[in-house]
Amino acid sequence: MATATYTVKGMTCGHCVSSVKEEVGEVAGVTEVDVDLATGLLTVTSESPVDAARVSAAVEEAGYEVVNP
């Protein structure tokens, strides 16, 4: 298992959190996605390390931005 944490900019509500979770959850290898609206932290758990660019692209697809890819 691998875990990576990112900071997401632009989320303001529960719908934002759901959108990010849905998009990142579709990245191959991702097994769990946790998003904390208050802090903007996105925690991604996967079977093996996932390319940060793929996670960033998924966050951007949801309409938000990763601050520290």
Residue burial 2-34, b: 16+ Cβ < 10 Å; e: rest: eebebebeebeeeebbebbbebbeebeebeebe
* Residue 36 confidence (pLDDT): 97
Q: Domain limits at 23?
A: 2-66
CB distance 46 to 26 below 8 Å: no
Please tell me the total count of domains within the chain.
1
* Residue 24 confidence (pLDDT): 98
Domain holding 53: CATH number? Answer: 3.30.70.100
Backbone angles phi, psi at 49, to 5 degrees: -55, 135
Tens digit of each residue's pLDDT (9 = 90 or more) over 17-56: 999 999 999 999 999 999 999 999 999 999 999 999 999 9
| Average pLDDT of the residues in 2-21 | 97
| Average pLDDT of the residues in 2-27 | 97
CB distance 65 to 8 below 8 Å: yes
